[in-house]
Chains A and B, each alone.
Chain A
Amino acid sequence: MLKLNHVSMTFNPGTVNEKKALNDVSLHMAPGDFATIVGSNGAGKSTLFGAIAGSFWPDEGEVILDGRDITFEPEHRRSNVLGRLFQDPMRGTAPHMTIEENLALAYLRASKARNAYFSRVTKQDKADFREKLALLDMGLEDRMTQPVGLLSGGQRQALTLLMATLVTPKLLLLDEHTAALDPATAEKVLALTRDIVAERQITCLMITHNMKDALGLGNRTLMMDSGRIVLDVSGDERAGMTVDDLLARFAANAGKALDNDRILLSEMG
């Protein structure tokens, strides 16, 4: 589904702030793969997402999604088939527009016809939105005409997740999307994520700093360091792993211990 071939990216080349954020990264995700990504601060996790989503053009290499070379495709065009969630719950929704209007915009990705631009939200659409919102189990289906700005961070993130998957994307990018939420809400949004991804077999990449989630969610774990993928485990090898095993493997491959000031090593997360 997703192929990265030898992707490299250097920020601020030729200055004192030069930073090789991606260093010859190659990655192949099969359809339905759900990989978690862990790594130190500045390991290149978010930069990897940037290259896939089109926030910048990589210096070298190519990004291929479902057989289509999207390396130089504008960001807004890729979002047709890409869903992306950020750590900040405010980034995915328009606060002064109603829940219904936000959903209508997300739904626009589905409409291929040009005249979709001039279509209004129909009663049928509203009924659909209502049904989907009810699945979140947050009571949002009764607040559809309220501005999104009135919702809590967790509710906004759940809504963003719904919007990103309203039309099933070919690839879902989750950039620590529960890190800014309180533990109970984070757990809920994570459970929603797990259900939606599993139910629709969405190919998914998820950055996390929770080591338990890194092993417990999905079918594959990637670890990054200094712009490289230093560890890629899946299948039986992964099934028998503990957090300590993972850290030991990371240290062996990266030549140093995992260093992330927000990493959660405990089982409490």
Chain B
Amino acid sequence: MTSFFTLAIVQSALELGFIYALVAMALFLSYSVLNIADLSTDNCFILGCAVGSTVALAGHPILALPAAMLAGVGSGFLTAFLQTRLGVESILAGIIVNTGLYTVNLAAMGFSSNLNLFKCDTIFTMAKAALEPVIGSWYKLAVAAVITLAAAAALWFFLGTRLGLSIRATGDNADMVRASSINPAYTITVGLCISGSLTALAGAVLGQYQKSCDINLGQGMVTIALASLIIGETLVGRQKLGLRLSAAILGSVIYRFIVAIALRMNVPAECLKLVSALIVAVAISSPQIKVLYARHKRKAAARAARKGGN
């Protein structure tokens, strides 16, 4: 164990797992709960990173987090507005916003394709000063875990309120939401705004964690987050709300360990996207594959029986 996994590898997998879990939670809300494939995730993540990094560079690493979340709310609102008010297909709405955000992200980074935060304070350097004497090198994990767990707790509480319940019902039966005198357009908008803010928060935390922001950082983020979500749901099941949120975090951490193992075994980093694409494709198609396999078995059995009868 120790020879294969050094402490640093375990720590960084946990840290990244917790940070990216925010995106998995965002997709839990938009994909699992609202039943909307929100494809603006990739650039919304970078939006959070760009805005967060810029604010941190201006000397406000803590303010950077709410600022990034606000930007994410804006992105989510636009995606929702296009699909609920203007009748744009939900997948297309996400793609349109994703495309537009690329320019917005560049603008937020001062029209440079990357920023570095090596010379400025981040939430992690601030935590280092306070926590390192107490818990040593675990301080980074503490910061990431506190942020993610706080967000998860807030989301759990929110989804139990009546507004949260109506958001959950929207993905389940929009007719019924309307019958409860709530406009589904409203619940979708609130849901996507929250989802956007979580994605952007993840971007902001990651930017400060790795002390840099790159315009291509979020490539494939939606697939990776979906993979995490599915890994978690497969292991924990789709039971109670609290468990499902924990599953998103667990899935994200496991995904990072898979990545760590792959890197340790010298799989080139470029191949990881293909791995996550495969995980998602197989996981989402597995119910259908099971049906096809069961049919095939039945057909084969029937044929065999007929032969036996002759």
Contacts and interface: CB of A to CB of B under 8 A. Distances in A.
Interface of A: 74-80, 83-84, 90-97, 101-102, 104-106, 108-109, 111, 116-121, 163-164
Contacts of A93: 173, 176
A174 to B, nearest CB: 13
Interface of B: 157, 160-163, 165-166, 168-169, 172-173, 175-184
Nearest to B160: A120
Given A79-B178, A92-B179, A97 B161 contact: no
A117 B161 contact: yes
Given A76-B183, A94-B176, A108-B182, A117 B169 contact: no
Contacts, number: 81
Contact of B172 (A94, A104, A111, A116): A94
Given A96-B168, A117-B161, A117-B162, 6 more contacts: A76-B181, A79-B178, A92-B175, A96-B172, A104-B162, A106-B179
A95 B172 contact: yes
Most buried by A among B163, B168, B175, B184: B175
Contact of B163 (A74, A79, A117, A121): A117
13 contacts: A80-B181, A92-B176, A93-B173, A94-B169, A94-B172, A101-B165, A105-B176, A105-B177, A105-B180, A109-B180, A118-B163, A119-B162, A164-B179
Contact of A95 (B165, B173, B182): B173
A90 B174 CA distance: 12
Most buried by A among B162, B168, B184: B162
A55 B225 CA distance: 38
A74 B183 CA distance: 9
Nearest to A164: B179
Nearest to B157: A120
A-B pairs with lowest CB-CB distance, top 5: A94-B172, A117-B163, A80-B181, A94-B169, A79-B181
Contacts of A79: 178-181
A104 B181 CA distance: 13
A79 B166 CA distance: 14
B190 to A, nearest CB: 9
B182 A91 contact: no
Nearest to A92: B176
Contact of B169 (A83, A105, A118): A105
A121 B183 CA distance: 21
Given A76-B178, A92-B175, A93-B176, A105 B183 contact: no
Contacts of B169: 94, 97, 101-102, 105
Contact of B162 (A96, A118, A164): A118
Given A94-B176, A95-B173, A105-B169, A111 B162 contact: yes
Contacts of A111: 162
Contacts of B181: 76-80, 108-109
Nearest to B33: A96
B178 A75 contact: yes
Contacts of B166: 105, 108
A79 B177 CA distance: 10
Contacts of B161: 117-120
Nearest to A145: B240
A26 B41 CA distance: 52
A105 B187 CA distance: 13
Contacts of A117: 161-163
